[in-house]
Amino acid sequence: MDLRECKKCLLLQSGEEDNYNLVQEYIKKIKPGEKCPDGLYSERLEKCKRCDNLISGVCIKCGCYVEFRAAYKNKKCPDAKLKAW
């Protein structure tokens, strides 16, 4: 497993398989009414993958794993200027 810092990478691309699996387990526990629809979730992550604030799956603006933050329907991109999603 390669744990080097990976710019614009989500967890699996960063070699963070254990954290990826943990995040997926947490996502499964999100109540259906709070969960982001699949299509919108993918769109959000595509925007994160083009963002300089994404380092090894973590948004440096909020310290969250973006794959988890984006899974909540009502969460927003934390960058007040960018407002990517």
Give phi and psi for 52, each to the nearest 5: -70, -15
Which residue ranges make up the site for ligand SF4 (CB under 6 A)?
47-48, 51, 53-54, 59, 61, 66, 77-79, 82, 84
Minimum separation from the CB atom of position 62 to ligand SF4 (A): 7
Minimum separation from the CB atom of position 63 to ligand SF4 (A): 10
Cβ nearer to ligand SF4, comparing 23 with 54: 54
Cβ nearer to ligand SF4, comparing 1 with 80: 80
Strands (E), the chain: 54-55, 58-59
Minimum separation from the CB atom of position 56 to ligand SF4 (A): 11
Give phi and psi for 20, each to the nearest 5: -60, -50
Run of H or E residues at 68 = helix 66-69
Both tokens assigned to 21? 């699996």
